[in-house]
Structure 1
Amino acid sequence: MTTALTGTAMIAESAAVPVVDVAPFKTQLLKWVGNKQRFAHDIVAHLPQDYGTYFEPFLGAGGVMATLRPHRAVGSDIFAPLVEIWQTLAAAPDQLVGWYADRHAQFHAGNRVEVYETIKARYNAAPNGADFLFLCRACYGGVVRFRRKDNYMSTPCGSHPVISPEKFARRVALWQERMAGARFACLDYRAAMAQARAGDVIYCDPPYAHSQTILYGAQAFRLEELFAAITACKARGVRVAMSIDGTKKSGDVYCDIAIPSGLFEREILVNMGQSMLKRFQMGGQRMETEAVRDRLLLTY
């Protein structure tokens, strides 16, 4: 479904806008709240194909970038351990495999929960990419939660089978090839977006105001400040796409975000399936009514 925006109201477009047929890429490297990978092909289908540099300033698990396979890109995030993982993927993939294999061996040689808690305690004492890489794959529900008071990771150990080092190594090789055109940096999104120039394209997947305050740095995030950065980008000829809360509920309240008038030209509704966070909160209960539909807003 494609619509155009007038302020916060939506009107049907009079002319069809062509989209690109993009093959899905569903092999995950990292687990992350809000990961768009299963439906990233629907997002990439609406991104410009004639970009200079692709920017993704809320990189997270990187599913959209890996689906796009950009020829030149800057992937960034404010979460240093996460960026360390991406930088190691690019520069030393064998080291990334080694990080995971070492912790996997400890995990299976001892008491799963005790080893997991030891790794988590070490990570919380000195946040680092090597420990975080294993924790995000072994934690309960794949939902990485951070305590608001001190940013400590709080998710307990999961009961699911943890991917083998051999399988993980194959994923590392696949992802390194798909991310070959990218460089990675630990940056605030405003600093990253300020680098974009006319002809570039930015995809933003910010923390969702109603449901994702468990993410690192999300407590201080202000959507109004992102809108200001997007306005500045649009003024200098940078095309911006942004995912935002759609028909997903927070409790009994549907997320209704006020969009600045004239900032976005079109809106696409993307069916995202069921919410990972909601599944975590509901403890595995049936979720037929908890489908998520994201709004993909486009400045072009």
Structure 2
Amino acid sequence: MIIYAININSGGGKVLLDRLLIENPFERTTAVLLDSRYTPPREFTGYTVYFKVWERLFAEVLLHKKLKTEANNESVLFFGNLPPFIKTKVKSILYLQNCYLTRQVPLPEDSLKVKFRSFVESLLLKLFYKNVDEIWVQTEWMKTITQKYCPKANIKIKPFLPLLPQAHPKATKDYKFTYVGSLSINKGLPNFLKALEDLDKSLKSKIKVSVVLNNTLEEANQSGLFTKSLLNITLDLKCRVGREELSRIYEASEFLVVTSLYESFYLPAYEAIHFGCKVIASKNVGYLSHLHDSKDFIFYSGDDLDLTKLSI
């Protein structure tokens, strides 16, 4: 399999791409076309070419040339949400991880730049999705909304997790609740902080809560979300932690609280369970609906999080 991933360099996409290159969960990876900002795992020894994001068209030309001269029996996985401009002569697959591109959920409102980029990429998906033989997604919910936007697509559910180290959950947890996300509007951090304020008034003993953000500390302070003082809750704010530290936080947490409205997969939920941390989420979030019967999840009705009403 040849992997085309010239716009993947960080976040959840990076950790999944690492797994693809190391363990080949679908097919053996023989070559990759990568974002110049991405550093592949040292275990990967296949053919590698790097491109700037704006060199996408040039990268695709090279891909078609390689397929024509060297790799007629290969399949191609477009791992970066966008299909090719030209259909390949071999089996091609698009791995779609961005629910915003389906236009079945509101476009992100955090910045005009992000909103415009999502709008343009959604148009590219609509125009060129027929250039792949299959679209792979991670959940049934994602399949449903993608099928609405790309009605003629052959869509398959193909989830996989990143490489996760062996778990060592703490018997006595340091944190009652943990939030993992960002300041993005979709992530619902204010909803979680409001629930903590309400819970704080009813507590008779003190607890610790961890908030892990994919933002800088300066951005967190400028958001104005952390100005309220709590009497019985100690808030431990961490920004841009590494993978090892995040694992330790999960191991030291009793519950991960999910407030994000729209996700294609929401990797933190699966990571938390692996490291011995249960998950609290609303039944209304479609991206976790396939887990309603899981013993590791506590689902509540409605959109408003009320930690005082949960039996935890």
TM over 0.5: no
TM-score by length of 1: 0.25
TM-score by length of 2: 0.25
Larger radius of gyration: 2
| Structure of higher RCO (CA pairs closer than 8 Å, 6+ residues apart) | 1
